[in-house]
Amino acid sequence: MNKIALIYGSDTGMTEEIVHNIVDDWSASEIDVIEVSNVKKEDFERFDNFILGLSTWYDGDLQSDWEEYYDEFKTIDFTNKTVAIFGLGDQYGYGEFFVDGVGMLAEVVLKNGGKLIGKWSCEEYDFEKSKAQIEGEDNFYGLALDEDNEPEKTPERLQKWLKQIESEF
């Protein structure tokens, strides 16, 4: 398997913590971790496989560094690239915008020719609306984690998802 770039942004450190767990658990190939505040367009050209991580803020906004990078992100050609996305959110506090950021990144990846892997069932979650939900499906575009309300479920969700994307990459 080719090297993977894990690109993430985190406001209060919750997503960053998950990134550490992914790095510890990932054994399938080499993984390069890049904070989105440092990422360059060339980084997206250098790799074929990506894991993107972010949280959602302020009623459906991207995490602040992703928000700053979003205009350039929209110009990236994802042809022949494979992408898995995970997002953190709060399904009870922000149930109308749960992990919206996952959907906002997924939309760009798909529009720009990329292959998305790692979709994840919505079944276990309790929310009203989410841009991360695939239209007409009971699935998210990527893994949803809720450290605010269900931190105890995170290790199992993460391990299962990592296995899934390892076989899909």
Judged by CB under 6 A, the residue of 12, 29, 121, 159 near ligand FMN is 12
CB of 1 to ligand FMN, least distance (A): 27
**Nearest alpha-carbon partner for 100 in 58, 138, 72, 51:** 58
Determine the residue with CB nearest ligand FMN.
Answer: 89
CB of 2 to ligand FMN, least distance (A): 27
CB of 94 to ligand FMN, least distance (A): 3
**Nearest alpha-carbon partner for 36 in 21, 50, 22:** 50
Q: Check binding of 103 to ligand FMN (CB under 6 A).
A: no
CB of 75 to ligand FMN, least distance (A): 24
Which residue(s) pair with 85 in the sheet?
52
Q: Check binding of 118 to ligand FMN (CB under 6 A).
A: no
Q: Check binding of 102 to ligand FMN (CB under 6 A).
A: no
Q: Check binding of 59 to ligand FMN (CB under 6 A).
A: yes
Q: Check binding of 154 to ligand FMN (CB under 6 A).
A: no
Q: Which residues bind ligand FMN (CB under 6 A)?
A: 10-15, 55-60, 63, 88-90, 94, 97-100, 147-148
